[in-house]
A and B are shown apart, each in its own frame.
Chain A
Amino acid sequence: MNAFVLLVIAITFFKGFIVKKKSYGFVASMIAIIFAILMTLVFLATGSFGYGILGYLALPAFVWYRRRLFIEGRGT
């Protein structure tokens, strides 16, 4: 199921590129960060590592999308 989560995040990013709407990238990066926080909690609780922790790498993308959305509005 963790692979499914990563797949959905990837597809959401991809759809954003296809339809040229930043809202998809914004949401995908947001979900990736939330998932990374959850995987961190799982790691702390059980010691089990999940690749979802790498979702923190989406943080710069989240900041970028947020800035572009609030300055430029939706679209490219």
Chain B
Amino acid sequence: MKVAMVGNPNVGKTALLNALTKGNFEVGNFPGTTVEKKEGRARVGGREIVFVDLPGIYSLEAHSLDEKVARDFLINEKPDLILNVVNASNLERNLYLTLQLVDFKIPMILVLNMIDEAERRGIVIDADKLSKILGIPVVKTIAVKGIGVEELKREILKDGRIPRLVVGKDLNSKLKMAEKIAREVVTFEKAKLDLTEILDEVFMDRHLGIPIFIVFMWMMFTFTYTVASPLTDLIDLAFSALSERISSLNGIVFALIGDGIVKGVGSVLVFLPNIAFLFIALALLELSGYMPRAVYLMDRIMTAFGLTGRSVIPLIMGFGCNVPAVMATRTIEDDRVRIATILVNPFMSCSARLPIYVLFAGIFFPKLGTAVIMGLYAFGVAVALISALIFRKVLLRGEAEYIIELPPYRIPNLRDVWILTWNRTKHFLQKAGTVILAMSVVIWFLTSFPSQNIEESYAGILGRVMQPLFAPMGWDWQFVLAILMGFVAKEVVVETLGILNTPIAQIMTMPQALAFMVFSLLYMPCLATLATIKAEAGWRWTIFAVVYSFVIAYVTAFTVEVIARLI
């Protein structure tokens, strides 16, 4: 039996899926899209049931990708039953979608979730009356606590009922009917003290809202990078030791396995703690109800650049690492804004580039090092925002359609947090790992043949061949090779200069150094980021990201070098 779970965002569909399947669900994508799909299985009363959690949507009018995916699923997959999950605190708004689902003539059950929140607010719903009006079973639940789930399972076994309500086809008829039904079944009693109102008074405060948001972002940043760092170091150590051990054995096969495959796999897995910790932090923000507040607070600023409030979190995460930052764009509903955020994310200077700035700033700007580095970060942000504006005006045109809804705050269920984190992290490993693994073998080949000496390898030859392209910046071939190696991972830039024993201060001038730092800031993202962009946006946008960032980096670096020389 296939059951589709449909409802507005933030109504608790995932928590309900978790409760119904006891955590036995997987996260993937709907075929041919980057829209997240959660599918779980459960044995209920001896019957095998597949639950498909469709994306949270407000209507089925197919204006956004999420709505289109949900509508196409209902038409093409023809589920046996629809569980329409509704937030009991906002019945009227949720009923608009319910009345659209009626048109599909598929058996339905309406799940009135978060009934405890509604009661706290003094909202009382006559579920029996609602069931009579709609002609379908109505079940009250508190999904995060598992309350009402057994009754829901009993109703599922009865296969629901096809709604017999007659509803006009047009928007206005449905809105009026939703209002009428809500008026008939909802009554209001004296509300208990509302935690949501208390928290929103401060979190949405005109003066404190944004500083508090920055505080939470800083905490998320610290959790993702600093707290995860021992695990990152451990994985790095383990894979480095393993790689050295294997490549120390004689034979080209061992060299391939050690320096190519193990090193390649290690270069992906070293990000794993950061990714997992990021997903934990995001899950906590999403499930607690704070995320929509953050989106609302930053929305006006982001809109000026063609983005939305939801773009802020991925952009801030980009300061740590662009890989999890690109993954974090999944929370952006509008596909055009999501693609724009993905494309500009690499301009947010990741932590891997910091060693480059520190090295060159230390040599050429000993007194102004901090100011120069901060300037680079700020410049990266400026390029990101201006690029976003250009993309939205030229390539990804159109008004971003989204609704910001402020759901009630809840204490996140730790089991939901764990399951969401695990499923998303697993998905990352599967997608990013395959491309990285293949490319690492290629890079190993280029740096190991025809000579083990990097200067005489294909990579070294490539550095000399490519050097004339960068002649306008006046860089020697060692710097060009370092830039090329930085394509694998930005940390490798400094590592390459170290291996070549490059006398930086002797063969480079200050304008050239500044241009090098600017180029490092802006040029194409590392392999892992590109693999992630490919997974999230497809090959076309990945190639565009490479070409665009290279052109911007080249032109900007050249301009900086010329201006710095003239000053």
* Residues of chain A at the chain B interface (Cβ within 8 Å): 1, 4-5, 8-9, 11-12, 15, 21, 23-24, 26-28, 31, 34-35, 38, 41-42, 45-46, 69-70, 73-74
Q: How far is the CA of A41 from the CA of B280 in the complex (A)?
A: 14
Which A residue sits closest to B230, measured CB to CB? Answer: A45
Tell me whether A23 and B226 are in contact (CB under 8 A): no
Residue from the set B201, B218, B219, B228 with the largest chain A CB neighbour count within 10 Å: B219
Q: How large is the interface on B (under 10, 10 to 19, 20 to 34, 35 or more residues)?
A: 20 to 34
Q: Is the interface of B mostly helix, strand, loop or mixed?
A: helix
Which A residue sits closest to B193, measured CB to CB? Answer: A70
Q: How far is the CA of A70 from the CA of B230 in the complex (A)?
A: 41
Chain A residues with CB under 8 Å of B201's CB are: 21, 23-24, 74
Q: List 9 A-B contacts (CB under 8 A).
A: A4-B214, A5-B215, A8-B214, A23-B202, A34-B219, A42-B227, A46-B226, A46-B230, A74-B201
Tell me whether B218 and A1 are in contact (CB under 8 A): yes
Tell me whether A31 and B215 are in contact (CB under 8 A): yes
Which B residue sits closest to A48, measured CB to CB? Answer: B226
Chain B residues with CB under 8 Å of A4's CB are: 211, 214-215, 218
CB distance from B210 to the nearest CB of A (A): 10
> For the complex, is B222 an interface residue (Cβ under 8 Å from A)?
yes
Tell me whether B212 and A12 are in contact (CB under 8 A): yes
Q: How far is the CA of A11 from the CA of B212 in the complex (A)?
A: 10
CB distance from B493 to the nearest CB of A (A): 25
Q: How far is the CA of A11 from the CA of B228 in the complex (A)?
A: 30
Given known contacts A12-B202, A12-B208, A70-B193, A5 and B219 CB-to-CB distance under 8 angstroms: yes
Tell me whether B193 and A8 are in contact (CB under 8 A): no
Interface residues of B in 428-462 (CB under 8 A from A): none
CB distance from B235 to the nearest CB of A (A): 14
Tell me whether A11 and B211 are in contact (CB under 8 A): yes
Given known contacts A27-B203, A31-B215, A46-B229, A74 and B208 CB-to-CB distance under 8 angstroms: no
Interface residues of B in 200-244 (CB under 8 A from A): 201-203, 205, 207-208, 211-212, 214-215, 218-219, 222-223, 226-230
Chain A residues with CB under 8 Å of B215's CB are: 4-5, 8-9, 31, 35
Q: How far is the CA of A74 from the CA of B226 in the complex (A)?
A: 38
A-B contact count (CB 8 A): 65
Given known contacts A21-B201, A46-B229, A41 and B223 CB-to-CB distance under 8 angstroms: yes
Q: How far is the CA of A9 from the CA of B339 in the complex (A)?
A: 36
Given contacts A8-B212, A23-B199, A38-B222, 5 further A-B contacts (CB under 8 A): A12-B208, A21-B201, A23-B198, A24-B201, A38-B227
CB distance from B366 to the nearest CB of A (A): 25
Q: How far is the CA of A58 from the CA of B227 in the complex (A)?
A: 23
Chain B residues with CB under 8 Å of A42's CB are: 222, 226-227
Tell me whether B198 and A38 are in contact (CB under 8 A): no
Chain A residues with CB under 8 Å of B228's CB are: 45
Which A residue sits closest to B219, measured CB to CB? Answer: A38
Tell me whether B219 and A35 are in contact (CB under 8 A): yes
Tell me whether B222 and A69 are in contact (CB under 8 A): no
Chain B residues with CB under 8 Å of A74's CB are: 198, 201
Tell me whether B212 and A45 are in contact (CB under 8 A): no
Tell me whether B219 and A27 are in contact (CB under 8 A): no
Tell me whether B202 and A24 are in contact (CB under 8 A): yes
Q: How far is the CA of A28 from the CA of B205 in the complex (A)?
A: 13
Q: How far is the CA of A9 from the CA of B218 in the complex (A)?
A: 14
Chain B residues with CB under 8 Å of A31's CB are: 212, 215
Closest 10 CB pairs of A and B: A27-B202, A23-B198, A23-B201, A41-B227, A8-B211, A45-B227, A5-B215, A45-B230, A1-B218, A8-B215
Q: How far is the CA of A19 from the CA of B19 in the complex (A)?
A: 43
Chain B residues with CB under 8 Å of A21's CB are: 201
Chain B residues with CB under 8 Å of A73's CB are: 193
Chain A residues with CB under 8 Å of B230's CB are: 45-46
Chain B residues with CB under 8 Å of A46's CB are: 226, 229-230
CB distance from B221 to the nearest CB of A (A): 8
State which of B193, B199, B208 has its C-beta within 8 Å of the C-beta of A15: B208
Chain A residues with CB under 8 Å of B205's CB are: 15
Residue from the set B215, B218, B228, B230 with the largest chain A CB neighbour count within 10 Å: B215
CB distance from A43 to the nearest CB of B (A): 10
Chain B residues with CB under 8 Å of A38's CB are: 219, 222-223, 227
Which B residue sits closest to A27, measured CB to CB? Answer: B202
